[in-house]
Structure 1
């Protein structure tokens, strides 16, 4: 009965308590707050860019938008680096 549905790439003799997916699952769990931060920074950047393009005298908003895009780029690079470290089982300093 346990072999009724065979998923591609899943050996039928694989144990249900196999921990081979644990590092990947933990890596995804650990990035929750970073994903939220990236999403929010993207919203801020988008909103600021939209407001900057709507008016001519919005140099302050343009500066903020430039900073937000720069910061988001920096955050994405760090995010990717940390994700790969977590996937490999390395500890990440909070």
Structure 2
């Protein structure tokens, strides 16, 4: 009969009740779960970068005609808003008015 090395026996490992059954990729973490902070930080940064990339795809991933259309719509909305002001901009710059 051969003896095993004591470091390779299962008695040196944590009991199953102490080991986490969830993986690090699981979004649900219980109080006793272990968490690798480096991996969590990388995952958080990746998600933030993905959200920024999505916003950039919306903003910059459009054709010339679409950009011009949105600029024209914005200019029309700005003119409409300016037309409904109570006092024109010139009156605000007039030094005699006070």
Same-fold status (TM-score > 0.5): no
Greater share of residues in helix = 1
Which structure ranks higher in relative contact order (CA pairs < 8 Å, sequence separation ≥ 6)?
A: 1
Q: Which is greater in Rg?
A: 2
TM superposition score normalised by structure 1: 0.29
